[in-house]
Amino acid sequence: MSSHYEAPIREPLVTGEKSYHDISVDVGAPVLGKANKSWWIVFSIALVAFLWGLGCIIYTISTGIGVWGLNKTIGWAWDITNFVWWVGIGHAGTLISAVLLLFRQKWRMAVNRSAEAMTIFAVVQAGLFPIIHMGRPWLAYWVLPIPNQFGSLWVNFNSPLLWDVFAISTYLSVSLVFWWTGLLPDFAMIRDRAVKPFQKKIYTLLSFGWSGRAKDWQRFEEVSLVLAGLATPLVLSVHTIVSFDFATSVVPGWHSTIFPPYFVAGAIFSGFAMVQTLLIVMRKVSNLEDYITLLHIEYMNKVIILTGGIVSIAYITEYFIGWYSGSSYENYTYLSYGAATGPYWWAFWALITCNFIVPLTLWVKKWRRNIMWTFVVALVINIGMWFERFNIIVVDLSKGRTPSGWTMFSPTFVDIGIFMGTIGFFFVLFLLYARTFPVIAQAEVKTILKSSGERYKRLREAGKS
């Protein structure tokens, strides 16, 4: 039996009559070709949003945090909501590239590159918020334990906000290295196919002289595996630490031991929704439908069903234990009867609808394999997961232990502007990426072509191989 044996029951992952050469051509096309008009239009819109957000950030820092809608009770609102939302979105990238590598899921190969890019760009957006929500961001470097002239005044390592600094910076650097390592053979492919001298020069620099020798490949595989093994606990711990920001506190609704795994599940849930949103468009505009097939979309929907289910169980647990605790303070937490009927009822029901009810439709095979519907559901989940973080943060803070402190929150245009700005910035980066990077890990896809390609499967069934 050849090493390429695969059970006939498995569906093909590469459709069409693809050969190794076709893969190189298809993946190289967007990079080596020219951008069309619609790319420029979308890019301009994203750039404008980014610049507007940048203006809002400069305005905040130069005027003061008071330009946001925060008040004395609710000191965290859109800033940290957006931070957790962006970090969460980033998690799907690492899940696809690391966890699915450990589980030997071949289908990840067509989606991992873009998912990792999404991770990095999302973490960049997330990383803005811890800085700009500071009252005195120019002193941000004080969070680092560096010897100094204040008698070596150090940070207190007991704060989860400090752990965040280490978690996010480590996460960004490891993801970046992991992503770049995987890019080497693909940059080399672009380098070898480029005809314009300037382009050739650039990709020569980017590909670090990759020549694809057996020894290089062997080490490449080992490094990937080790990095995947390290990135998996990293991805779990990063969002765990983000959840500690809330769970270590004594705020009713925040202090909950389930937060760490539940936040991680929510992160993967929202991250996969974002991957769906991006890839459904990308496969169309970059003509990659033979690589990112309906099967990939269905598999990702299944991950969404799974993580959405875990999140739902956590909601039920939170709601139940809130009641079970017998503590009257738990009556106003984000998953309580009080929240469902209180002034933030719309946020509560937005969460339930977007994260629980709508994703249930994916249980139906026909809808799960419907690209348009998947796109809609993915968008809804992105909105729902934003509401989840908003509810956890704002609803829980709005009705704390002393009723005299109860209040509401409403955002100002600056809160909204900065959020729009990060979305713009994200798309600026992602659109540039889509034009300059090989968006599919062609080297990896080539390794599964003969076992999982449609053409080879057909030949095998006909007994010709």
The answer to whether 244 contacts other proteins (rule: CB under 8 A) is: yes
Give the length of the chain.
Answer: 465
Beta carbon nearer to other proteins, 42 or 352: 352
Q: Is the dihedral of CA 70, 76, 82, 83 positive or negative?
A: positive
Exposure letters 350-362 (e unless 16+ CB within 10 A, then b): bbbebbbebbebb
Beta carbon nearer to other proteins, 148 or 327: 327
Beta carbon nearer to other proteins, 71 or 159: 159
Least Å distance, CB 53 to other proteins, is: 34
Comparing C-alpha atoms, which of 360, 365, 364, 389 is closest to residue 377?
Answer: 360
Q: Total number of residues binding other proteins (CB under 8 A)?
A: 34
Strand partners, 453: 14
Beta carbon nearer to other proteins, 181 or 232: 232
Residues 353 and 384 sit within 8 Å (Cβ to Cβ): yes
Q: Please select the residue that binds other proteins; options are 87, 111, 247, 443, rule is CB under 8 A.
A: 247
Q: Please select the residue that binds other proteins; options are 58, 161, 313, 432, rule is CB under 8 A.
A: 313
The answer to whether 321 contacts other proteins (rule: CB under 8 A) is: yes
Q: Please select the residue that binds other proteins; options are 240, 301, 336, 422, rule is CB under 8 A.
A: 240
Comparing C-alpha atoms, which of 371, 428, 381, 437 is closest to residue 114?
Answer: 437
Least Å distance, CB 1 to other proteins, is: 5
Q: Which residues are CB-contacts of 167 (< 8 A; sequence separation ≥ 6)?
A: 237, 238, 241, 242
Binding piece for other proteins, criterion CB under 8 A, among 142-150, 187-195, 319-327, 422-430: 319-327
The answer to whether 405 contacts other proteins (rule: CB under 8 A) is: no
Beta carbon nearer to other proteins, 135 or 326: 326
Binding piece for other proteins, criterion CB under 8 A, among 5-13, 121-129, 270-278, 457-465: 5-13
Strand partners, 14: 453
Cα–Cα distance measured from residue 275 to residue 298, given in angstroms and rounded to the nearest whole number: 12
Per the structure block, which two tokens stand in for 129? Answer: 């918020």
Cα–Cα distance measured from residue 209 to residue 22, given in angstroms and rounded to the nearest whole number: 24
Beta carbon nearer to other proteins, 248 or 412: 248
Binding piece for other proteins, criterion CB under 8 A, among 108-116, 165-173, 242-250, 277-285: 242-250
Binding piece for other proteins, criterion CB under 8 A, among 50-58, 70-78, 284-292, 311-319: 311-319
CA atoms in the 13 A half-sphere facing the CB of 102? 12
Least Å distance, CB 260 to other proteins, is: 4
Per-residue binding string, other proteins, 6-25, x by CB under 8 A, is xxxxx---------------
Q: Please select the residue that binds other proteins; options are 44, 177, 233, 401, rule is CB under 8 A.
A: 233
Percentages helix, strand, coil for the chain (3-state, rounded to 5) are 75, 0, 25
Binding piece for other proteins, criterion CB under 8 A, among 2-10, 83-91, 124-132, 211-219: 2-10
Beta carbon nearer to other proteins, 73 or 331: 331
Residues 390 and 409 sit within 8 Å (Cβ to Cβ): no
The answer to whether 326 contacts other proteins (rule: CB under 8 A) is: yes
Per the structure block, which two tokens stand in for 332? Answer: 């106003």
Find the Cα–Cα–Cα–Cα dihedral 6, 9, 13, 15, rounded to 10°: 110
The answer to whether 447 contacts other proteins (rule: CB under 8 A) is: no
Residues 381 and 269 sit within 8 Å (Cβ to Cβ): yes
Largest CA distance in the chain: 79
The answer to whether 403 contacts other proteins (rule: CB under 8 A) is: no
The answer to whether 463 contacts other proteins (rule: CB under 8 A) is: no
Binding piece for other proteins, criterion CB under 8 A, among 123-131, 213-221, 310-318, 404-412: 310-318
Beta carbon nearer to other proteins, 201 or 219: 219
Q: 69-98: which residues touch other proteins (CB under 8 A)? A: none
Q: Please select the residue that binds other proteins; options are 26, 164, 318, 444, rule is CB under 8 A.
A: 318
The answer to whether 121 contacts other proteins (rule: CB under 8 A) is: no
Alpha helices in 325-463 (DSSP H): 337-341, 345-352, 358-360, 365-368, 371-390, 396-398, 413-436, 442-452, 454-461
Least Å distance, CB 10 to other proteins, is: 8
The answer to whether 361 contacts other proteins (rule: CB under 8 A) is: no
Per the structure block, which two tokens stand in for 151? Answer: 């008698």
The answer to whether 261 contacts other proteins (rule: CB under 8 A) is: yes
Residues 395 and 350 sit within 8 Å (Cβ to Cβ): no
The answer to whether 236 contacts other proteins (rule: CB under 8 A) is: yes
Angle CA 441–205–188, to nearest 5: 35
Which residues here bind other proteins, judged by CB under 8 A?
1, 5-10, 233, 236, 240, 244, 247-250, 255-261, 309-310, 313-314, 316-318, 321, 324-327
